[in-house]
């Protein structure tokens, strides 16, 4: 059912909306990974130590967390479309500033740029997930995994652009300026085909207006915490693989660096395949059964990776780990946005939990791995992924959206 004046939401309009959100996710992935791919050059230009580079990376993380914490209030005030337009532009401006800082070999300029970029990234992430979740409801199909697959495509493309720029000797500043201009322009154009999250009829439209206190109150709600646990476990499974799977193969299974790198390729490929296939699986079996099944698959994969002494079996485990971890984050975003009254605040809260897992979890596993070995350190991930199977009912579809349309 649509609000008065929203009759324009025919199928063609909704499909354009979906495709526009694809473009935003793709651009976000491109922006982040095009910077990450140039970190070796940044280190060389600065003559930085590993510890100094850690501070550079930390600046982006700090900005992201600040943006995530503020995002619920900002999206509620301005709406997801305007928020994406403004803060994706902020993300681009921050990356340009960081690129200028590299050319000037100035740590303060780089750090300032990355804090700004991180804040823009965090706020954009929440608003694009919220807008995508509403587009999903309008389409009556489980397409959130595809949105996240497009983010993965963007990260792969951005890494390729960074590698090509390095090969051609293009400076970091030049690359980031050109990409920022092109991607901000592309996102602003794509937003013309999106719709407001208020376009669908809200049965709770007569509820009292959201306040700062009510938006903060979602952090005390059991549903938010349980969905957050789902996202926490699967985000940690994804983030720990990105940071540690190659080293786990090299140190734990005594393979070469090339074989370790191949393990990461297997994981990323399996995760992307899982997100593409997840649309059909979720439509057919629903969130709860799929989350339980994927948590089991990831648990088995992690167990094989950790305990198998045979490298081919470890590769099978890595592939299962990637497949199993592929749907937790997007399904958590969809579940967090189910209640229109609290969608922005709850998506913000759940995304914050997920991104803290991305940012804090892998270093914690590294510290633990220093004491007991990387493979044994990954047991923490295995336990948290197993918890996802227990709390999966928290993501159950609301009755109005439980039966997707083919």
291: burial class by Cβ within 10 Å (0-12, 13-18, 19+)? buried
DSSP one-letter code for 285: H
Band of pLDDT at residue 50, cut at 50, 70 and 90:
low
Instruction: State residue 72's pLDDT score.
Output: 82
**What are the residues facing 2 on neighbouring strands?**
200
Q: Evaluate if pTM is beyond 0.85.
A: no
Counting Cα atoms < 13 Å in the Cβ hemisphere of 12 gives: 1
Instruction: State residue 214's pLDDT score.
Output: 67
Task: Find the range with the poorest average confidence among 199-208, 249-258, 348-357.
Answer: 199-208
Band of pLDDT at residue 62, cut at 50, 70 and 90:
confident
Q: Percentage of the chain surpassing pLDDT 90?
A: 49
Q: Is residue 208's pLDDT more than 60?
A: no
Closest CA to 25 of 139, 157, 181: 157
Phi, psi dihedrals of residue 308, rounded to the nearest 5°: -75, 135
Average pLDDT over residues 71-98: 94
Query: Are 6 and 200 spatial neighbours (Cβ–Cβ below 8 Å)?
Result: yes
- The domains located in the chain, with CATH, are 11-193 (1.20.1250.20), 214-400 (1.20.1250.20)
Dump pLDDT digits (tens) for 135-189.
Answer: 988 988 889 999 999 988 988 888 788 888 888 999 999 999 999 999 999 999 9
Q: Is residue 116's pLDDT more than 80?
A: yes
Instruction: State residue 395's pLDDT score.
Output: 94
- For residue 157, how far is the Cα from the chain centroid? 16
Strand runs (DSSP E) across 156-224, as ranges?
none
Instruction: State residue 201's pLDDT score.
Output: 54
Calculate the average pLDDT of the chain.
86
Instruction: State residue 259's pLDDT score.
Output: 83
Average pLDDT over residues 21-26: 97
- HEC per residue, 105-125: CCHHHHHHHHHHHHHHHHHHH
Band of pLDDT at residue 225, cut at 50, 70 and 90:
very high
DSSP one-letter code for 402: S
């Amino acid at each position: 059912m649509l609000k008065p004046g929203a009759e324009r939401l025919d199928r063609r309009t909704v499909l354009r909306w979906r495709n526009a959100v694809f473009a935003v996710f793709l651009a976000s992935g491109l922006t982040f990974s095009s910077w990450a791919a140039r970190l070796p050059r940044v280190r060389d230009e600065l003559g930085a130590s590993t510890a100094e580079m850690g501070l550079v990376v930390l600046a982006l993380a700090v900005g992201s967390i600040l943006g995530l914490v503020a995002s619920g209030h900002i999206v509620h005030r301005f709406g997801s479309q305007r928020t994406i337009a403004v803060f994706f532009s902020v993300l681009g401006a921050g990356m340009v500033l960081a690129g200028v800082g590299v050319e000037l070999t100035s740590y303060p300029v780089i750090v300032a740029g990355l804090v700004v970029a991180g804040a823009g990234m965090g706020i954009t992430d929440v608003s694009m997930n919220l807008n995508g979740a509403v587009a999903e409801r309008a389409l009556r199909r489980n397409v959130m995994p595809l949105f996240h697959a497009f983010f993965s495509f963007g990260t792969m493309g951005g890494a390729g652009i960074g590698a090509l720029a390095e090969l051609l000797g293009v400076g970091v500043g030049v690359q980031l300026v050109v990409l920022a201009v092109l991607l901000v322009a592309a996102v602003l154009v794509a937003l013309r085909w999106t719709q407001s999250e208020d376009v669908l009829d809200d049965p709770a439209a007569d509820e009292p207006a959201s306040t700062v206190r009510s938006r903060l109150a979602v952090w005390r709600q059991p549903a938010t915490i349980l969905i957050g646990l789902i996202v926490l476990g699967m985000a940690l499974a994804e983030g720990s693989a990105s940071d540690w799977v190659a080293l786990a193969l090299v140190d734990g299974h005594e393979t070469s660096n090339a074989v370790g790198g191949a393990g990461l390729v297997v994981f990323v490929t399996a995760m992307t395949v899982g997100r593409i296939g997840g649309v059909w699986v979720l439509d057919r079996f629903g969130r709860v059964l799929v989350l339980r099944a994927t948590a089991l698959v990831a648990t088995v994969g992690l167990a094989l990776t950790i305990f198998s002494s045979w490298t081919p079996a470890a590769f099978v485990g890595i592939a299962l780990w990637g497949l199993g971890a592929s749907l937790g984050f997007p399904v958590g975003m969809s579940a967090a946005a189910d209640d229109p009254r609290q969608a922005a605040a709850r998506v913000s809260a759940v995304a914050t939990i997920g991104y803290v897992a991305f940012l804090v979890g892998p270093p914690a596993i590294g510290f633990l791995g220093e004491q007991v070995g990387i493979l044994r350190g990954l047991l923490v991930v295995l336990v948290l992924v197993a918890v996802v199977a227990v709390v999966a009912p928290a993501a159950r579809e609301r009755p109005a959206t439980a039966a997707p349309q083919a």
